[in-house]
Structures are given as C-alpha cells and as structure tokens.
Structure 1
Amino acid sequence: MRPNIMLLSIQYLRAIAAISVVLFHMWQVYFPDAENPLFPGSAGVDVFFVISGFIMWHITSGKEVRPGEFLLHRSIRIIPLYWLITLSLAAAALLKPNLFPLDKPTLPHVLLSLLFIPHLSPDGVNTYPFLTQGWTLVYEFLFYAFFAFALLFKARHRFFIISAIIVLLVSYGILFKPKSIYGAWITSSYLIEFYAGIIVSILVRHKLILANIASIFTAVFCIIAIIMTKNESVVEYRALYWGIPSAVLVWAFISCEKSGAMNNFPFLILLGNASYSIYLVHFLVASFLNIALGLFNIEGSGFLFFVIGSLFAITCGIVTYLVVELPLLRAMRGFLRFWTAVRETNHIRFQ
C-alpha cells in the first residue's frame, strides 16, 4: 500500500515544513516579546496536512484497500514514536514535576492524548494533548477515520464520498460554529486542507501539472502569499489564507519535479524523512536547552541562541529518527509481515 516511487518534492516540502515549525517555535522561545519578522512558521502545519491528504490518495488510488489495513499502516507510521515520547515525558513530569513547565500528567489527560481524543487540558483552558505538538495528530486521525470509511466503497465512488463528508461537516461548522470540543473538532476547516491534498493527488495522477518555469513562479508566489498573511489569526479562515496557498505550493513542487527541474539533494531527503521526529521533539529540546542554560545562570535569549537552539533541535530530530523512529518502524513492519505470513499459512492449512 506504500508508494512505489519516493517523490523528492514531497520530501523537500516535509523538510521545509518541519524547519519552518522549528524556527517559529524557537523564535517564540528566544524572542517571546518580538514579532516574527518574516515567515509564519506555523503554516508548516498546513503544508503537512495537505501532504497527508495527498499521500493518502496517492497510496490507495485505484486500489481495493481494506479500511483496517489502511488504518493499521497509518497507525504503525504515527503511533509508536508519539506514544514513546508522550509516555517518557509523562514519566519525567511525575519524577521531576518542577523540572520544566508541563500540564499535570493526570491519567485521563495522558490516556486521551494517547488515543488522539480531543479534551480539555488540566489547566481548564486549552485543548492540547499532553505532548502539545500532538494536536495536529488529533486532526490526522480524524481524517484517517473519514478516509477509512470512504475505503468501504468502490474506488470510483470514494472521491464523492469523501467530498460529501468534508463539505457537509465543514459547512456545518462554518454556519453553526459548534461550541463543544468535539463539535469544533469534527467540523474543523482543517479538513479542507486534507481534502485539498487529495485534489492535488488527483491532478498529478491525471498528469495535470504545471510547466517547468510556471511551477517555479507559482511556488514563489505561494510562499509570498503565505508570508503576506503571517499576522492573520482567525482560525476559521486559516484553510483559506494558508491552506489554499499550501495546496498550490505542493502542486507546484510536484510539477517542478515531474517536469525535470528538481535535483536530488540527499540532505534534504534526510530532513524530509526525519520531519516527523523533528516535529515531535523540537519543542522539548528547546525546553531542556533552556533548563541547561539556567543551571549555568546563562540567559537564553537573542539571535545567537535562536540559531543554536534551532540547529540543535533539528539535529536532535535527525538523531531521534535514525536511532529511535527508524528502528521502531522497521520492527513494527517486520512484525506485521510476520503476522501476515502466519495468518496466510494458517488459512491455507485449514482450507
């Protein structure tokens, strides 16, 4: 069910999106009172959502894929590292509660976070999971559920099914603005960004891509459009001012690759592969770095610390990918292959 060919453009965009989020959060840490002078790094999340929708359609288009198989493969990709980091963080917070600012690791909070269920945090204000970055995964698994439902139908009907789900839910959210946590979650406009990724995948599949120069100019235009809206704060319209440019940016990058204008950069591919690890660990790295600086009575602020902190966070993310995430993925996929072989053997034996 995995793509046969790795798209360089997707890996590069993953790298750019992850680094953008790192820079955004590091700027908040080391310049808490200063406005970000250029790039709205949180828009990297919107790029991730579009890429996720693209990949889901890319790996299942024209195939009869069972919903359980789809959910299992996505869970293997997402859950192990997220659970490991969340549980490690919860253990650290229990052992050293004053080490760094965290939500209280109450059992309901941690369990609901592990299950990707939106809920009110112990502070009574936010709805972030215990590992804050996990809020995006809550939306990921919501869309996985909708997409898995669409897989119950024949391939030719799936786009209509998923379109109906997204249009109805998002329209309801815009019109009635649900106040409950679950109502706001299930009708979120973030769903549009996953849907936009599906549309990009369909365009690419039908070879509707931009020409060489046009793809480059379009990508630049999209980046400028995102930069120009960096001060926007209305979440309801985020899919409009960041989601649409992000979707067109993904389309432009893939078009650039398909037209032969994209070179192979191994380090960018590594960053793309490590983007999930970078995303999950970077803010924790910043917190621990500040603690370390505090132990030596060093005030961690200013541009130098911003650069060092960003590079250190990215490096830790790469190390996490190579040492933790990759072995976990290999072990889980190896076990899945073994389990599948055992089931097939038993099926043949009892026929």
Structure 2
Amino acid sequence: MSMLQGQAHPASRVMGIQWGRALAAIAVAVAHAISHPSASAPGASHLVGRVGVALFFVISGYIMVVTTSQGSFSPLDFMRRRLLRIVPLYYIATAVTVAGVLIAPWAFKQTTFDLKHLVLSLLFVPAHAPSGDINPVMKLGWTLNYEMFFYVLFALLSGLTALKRAIGLSLIFGVLIIAGLTMEFHSAAAIFYTRIDSLAFVAGVWLAVATQGRPVVLSRQAMLTLVTFVVGVLTVILATYDRNDTNPMIQVWIIATCVAIVGLLAFGTRPLEARMPSWATVAGDASYAIYLFHLFAVAAVTVAVRKLLPPEFLVPGMAAAAVAGVAGGLFIYWLIDRPLDRTLRRWSKRVRPAGSLGVQPITP
C-alpha cells in the first residue's frame, strides 16, 4: 500500500495547522504551569515547552511558503502584514508587563528593565536585560525576535522561487548555526541568532517546498509510521533529558519530531475534521494570544494556590494554572486580538497600493 494516497482537501491542511498551533500554545502553557511554582520541576515539563516552541517555529516556516506560493511576492506587502499581525498584541503584552513591574514590582521580581532594554525589545532586537539574560522585557517575546528575523530574511529573498528561497535560507541559517557551534560571541544579537533553534524555520520551509504542488493525504501506514517516530524519539530523549544539556542534537531531534507532527496535521487530518470539536479550531485562532498572555494567569493562580491552599494541592494547582492560562489567552483573543486584527486587516486593504500582492497568512 502506498504511503501517500489521493489528493488532500486544501482546507484540511489549514485546519490541521490550526490544531497544531493550539497544541503548541497549550504545551507552552502546561510547561509554565508546572515549572512556575517549582524550580525543580521534572524535565518532562521543560521538554513539553521546548517542543511547543519548536512546533510554532516549524509551522511558521511551513505557512510562510504555503501562503506565498512558488513564485516571487511583494516584500513590503509581506512585512506590512506580518507587522500588523505580530506587533500590536505584543506591544500590549509588553505594556502590561511594564505596568506590572512599575505598579507591583513584588509580583514581577524576575523582570527588570531600563529604557534602552525596553526600546530594543520593542524593536525585536536581542539584548542583555539588566539581569544579564538575553530576553526582551516581556520574556516570552524571545520567540518573536526569532520570528521577526526569519520574516526579514524571507522577505529579502522574495524575488526568488520557493525552492531557491529555501536554499538561500538554508545557507544563511546554516552559516549562522555553524558559527554559533564553533565560535564564541559576546554580542547578545550574535549569541542569539547563531543558536540552533532557528533550524526549525528552515525545516518548516523545506516541508512546504517538498509537498507544495503535490497535495496528498497520508495513508494509515504513513500516519502510524510518523506517530511511532514522534513517540519513540521523544521517549528516548526524555529517558536521559537534562534541561541544562546544551547538546545541539537534542534540538535537532526535537525539530525532526515537530516536522513529523506538522506533516501529520497538514496531510492526515481530513478524516477527523467532522469529529473534532469547534474549540480546537478556536484555540488555534487564539494561539498567539494564549502564548503571549497565558503566563499572567498562570502566575496569578500559582500565587493564589501557594497562599491559600496547603502543599498537597500543588499538582491540582498546576492543572488549574494551566487551564487559567489557556482561558486567559482565549479571553484576550475574543476581547482584544480578534477585533483588533479584523480592524487592521480592513485598514490594510484600504491602504494597500494597487497591484500589490496580497499575502494572507493565517494567524501565528
């Protein structure tokens, strides 16, 4: 029996990717709900969060290719749409963080900043925080620094075909990663952009290039093979996982499992569409808001559990914190993100120059 069969319904690929975004956001929320109250949280929680972030990156690489097709596109139109989608909610989250530090510093003990650090954070430039860490003021924004860097490079190669763009991105990120593995840097930007994490974007790009124009549906045999691969690799990693281990091959295998997950979601979810609850798609739409805002709710619930309940309620408290994190993100999505995004999209259509290429990626 062939590993690939038939043609996929285009909407099923988008639907599956939305489920993937929901899975990634929930994974990060769960990881933080477990690790926030306990510095000695099990390695499994850290691994779950790490997989969630890598999954976001692979999906970004995949979707950028799918939404810009095989040919060239307008780099200015592309970047305008990406900025309109990413910047407003991130700035709101940063403003909430800054307000929290100024109003209730006791609740943000691990968050410090100065004016220079704040400005660089808003410009998506990696910089050393006053604490010495390479994090923006809103710490979860470190992933957006990678995203924006990827978008800029993707836009700079907009005049190429999808295949040549993939080759160009592979060369650029490959050189950066090799430099990071073989050289010692002191600049925050140099340290940040030479980490192996960015390999996930390239992997997503190649998955899209390899499959675009050849829509397929995975057979049961192929799906079982991919599921076995994902479970097997993550089980092996977890058996000896140490969150302080800097072995780059761990990240390579994590990225490989995320590529398999995206493949499953993009080409194997059509039979599940009718049976999946609507909240799964909504959670995918809200994944960006969940990612940016879940930690506020997680921290609030964790503090409440510590102060009001005995120690034996630690695990139920973690579960409650995870649920609160996801629920808080959904609330922000309905209250702020969704209406704001719709308003900006309408405005963008009115001001878009005639003849510019419309690039309409689904939400990050």
Tell me the TM-score normalized by structure 2: 0.84
1:337 alignment partner in structure 2: 349
* Match status 1:30 vs 2:37: yes
Q: Deviations over 1:232-276 (max 9, x none)?
A: 432633431211111122112222136x45544311111111111
2:201 alignment partner in structure 1: 194
**Greater alpha carbon shift after TM alignment, 184-193 vs 173-182:** 173-182
Q: 1:253 to 1:154 in 2, by over 3 A?
A: closer
1:142 alignment partner in structure 2: 149
1:306 alignment partner in structure 2: 318
Q: Deviations over 1:151-180 (max 9, x none)?
A: 133556323322322222222322324343
Match of 1:268 among 271, 280, 298: 280
**Greater alpha carbon shift after TM alignment, 306-315 vs 209-218:** 209-218
CA distance in 1, matches of 2:247, 2:342: 37
Measured after TM superposition, the shift of residue 137 of structure 1 is 0.7
For 1:176, the aligned partner's letter is M
Contact 2:61 2:200 in 1 (8 A): yes
**Greater alpha carbon shift after TM alignment, 152-161 vs 316-325:** 152-161
Q: Deviations over 1:112-142 (max 9, x none)?
A: 1111111111112x11111111111111111
**Greater alpha carbon shift after TM alignment, 93-102 vs 29-38:** 29-38
Q: Which runs of 5+ in 1 are unaligned?
A: 346-351
Q: Which runs of 5+ in 2 are unaligned?
A: 1-9, 356-364
Q: RMSD of aligned C-alpha atoms?
A: 2.5
Match of 2:24 among 17, 20, 23: 17
**Greater alpha carbon shift after TM alignment, 294-303 vs 235-244:** 294-303
Equivalent residue pairs, number: 338
CA distance in 1, matches of 2:311, 2:119: 36
Match of 1:157 among 164, 174, 181: 164
Q: 1:208 to 1:187 in 2, by over 3 A?
A: farther
For 2:107, the aligned partner's letter is L
CA distance in 1, matches of 2:224, 2:85: 31
Contact 2:58 2:203 in 1 (8 A): yes
Tell me the TM-score normalized by structure 1: 0.87
SS in structure 1 of the partner of residue 126 of structure 2: coil
Contact 1:293 1:300 in 2 (8 A): no
1:57 alignment partner in structure 2: 65
Match of 1:204 among 208, 211, 214: 211
Q: 1:19 to 1:155 in 2, by over 3 A?
A: closer
* Match status 1:229 vs 2:241: no
1:348 alignment partner in structure 2: none
1:112 alignment partner in structure 2: 120
Q: Deviations over 1:199-247 (max 9, x none)?
A: 1112221346642332144124313412431314326334312111111
* Match status 1:79 vs 2:87: yes
Share of identical aligned residues, percent? 25
* Match status 1:213 vs 2:225: no
2:102 alignment partner in structure 1: 94
Measured after TM superposition, the shift of residue 297 of structure 1 is 7.4
